[in-house]
Chains A and B, each alone.
Chain A
């Protein structure tokens, strides 16, 4: 092939209207003169027609509900499958404090709670609010403390809402180095944790991060399923280590499988699919040798 031959790349670009003006004449001369060049371009032109013809109907279809559903207000809002965490999910505790409005201190605390809810750390603030409510002498009925299991579940939903929806950085430590990840978690949480693999059931471990817990930091292990759906597993020390069987707590579009075993609290947050959560939680329970071993405290 000589230097003046026009190759496939230039012919192809010509078909796409991408030939720079300085080359136009040369290419068009070639097309007229070189045997087979025009036929080649013709074949590609027909490829284009076939492709466009084949897929034109997709663009002509009405946009399916599943891609672009309406929400309750009639507004359309896309619901991606990945991290479809409903912003209307409220932390469990908020409902308990509707009655506590009279005291000024409580009102201020409620405003603080609202700010925390917006930021996604509702459980921390509402735990403080519980403390506030129980110490008020004004005759406002103190709301009951949430049970340990409910608190764990709320923490898992809040942590999921805060961290899992970040497409690029849901975790601090990647699962690429599992030993290092387990060591970091164990040291900071104060539990010997070995986050279990769930890949044979679908979800692949992305990594972990810390999240607020009852007695110091808890671990949040993030898994991602083949379809992009993410699960968050909170592993936490609990103040009352009595064993508790797995319960499924639902929060609109999300659900949490929560249980306490061997002195450790587990809460697996994911989509509202109790069967799936149950199967995953059973696998976690079978595999995770977490125990309240006194791991060395983090170096200051």
Chain B
């Protein structure tokens, strides 16, 4: 697939910014320092890309990278259960930023949503990366959107919600 090592490195460099972005959004609030964790996941993915046998790979480099990072993150999440999410006494989540909203999504829903919305994957590509059918990807994304919607809506009183079309999180500063 690559003529030589430097060819591949150039390609990886091109894909790294997006990979870092996906990693950061994916880790969300699972760990205390998501920046470090996200970069560690990205770094490990890149290292594996350099070590792997490229000739044998059928997927595109891009899909392989995101698939690998997704798997590594799942392994991390299994090893270290997400830290206690802070909640107010009446059960409503305390944080209202975007990362907190993402945090409310089950990991597999988060993955599908971020690949498509953040990284511009088609449903087919996301399915390849996640080992799912296009229909399954679509279902998860629809559900993810519904959860995000409800979760953020719950923090807002009902009449205020009716008054404007804008969802509450538009006014939040991250």
Which of chain A's residues has its CB closest to B17's CB? A59
A33 interface contact, C-beta 8 A: no
Q: Which residues of B contact A46 (CB under 8 A)?
A: 166-167, 170
Q: Is the CB of A82 within 8 A of B118?
A: no
Give the one of A11, A64, A80, A167 with max B CB within 10 A: A80
Contact B21 A80 (CB under 8 A): no
Contact B117 A226 (CB under 8 A): no
Number of A-B contacts (CB under 8 A): 127
What is the interface of chain B mostly: helix, strand, loop, or mixed? helix
Contact between chains at A227 and B25 (CB < 8 Å): no
Say whether B51 faces chain A, with CB atoms less than 8 Å apart.
yes
Q: Using a CB-CB cutoff of 8 Å, which residues 64-79 of chain A contact chain B?
A: 64, 66-68, 75-79
- Which of the candidate stretches B53-61, B87-95, B133-141 sits at the interface with the other chain? B133-141
Establish whether residues A51 and B98, one from each chain, have CB atoms under 8 Å apart when the complex forms: yes
With both beta carbons as reference points, the residue of chain B lying nearest to A52 in the complex is identified as B118
Please name all residues of chain A whose beta carbon is closer than 8 Å to the beta carbon of B156 when the two chains form the complex.
Answer: none
B145 touching A12 by the CB < 8 A rule? yes
Q: Is A43 an interface residue (CB 8 A)?
A: yes
Q: How far is the CA of A84 from the CA of B44 in the complex (A)?
A: 9
B138 touches A78 (CB 8 A): no
- Assess the B98–A64 pair: CB atoms within 8 A: no
Which chain A residues lie closer than 8 Å to B9 at the CB level? Answer: 75-77
Cβ of B20 within 8 Å of any chain A Cβ, yes or no, is yes
Is A3 at the interface (CB under 8 A from chain B)? no
B24 at interface, CB cutoff 8 A: yes
Q: For residue A75, which residues in chain B have a CB less than 8 angstroms away from its CB?
A: 9
A77-90 interface mask toward B, CB cutoff 8 Å, 1 = contact, 0 = none? 11111101000000
Give residues of chain A (1-55) contacting chain B, Cβ–Cβ below 8 Å.
8-9, 11-13, 16, 18, 39, 42-44, 46-48, 50-52, 54-55
Nearest 6 interchain pairs by C-beta = A80-B47, A78-B46, A12-B142, A80-B44, A58-B21, A59-B17
A-B residue pairs in contact (CB < 8 Å), sample of 6:
A47-B117, A50-B170, A54-B98, A67-B16, A228-B44, A228-B75
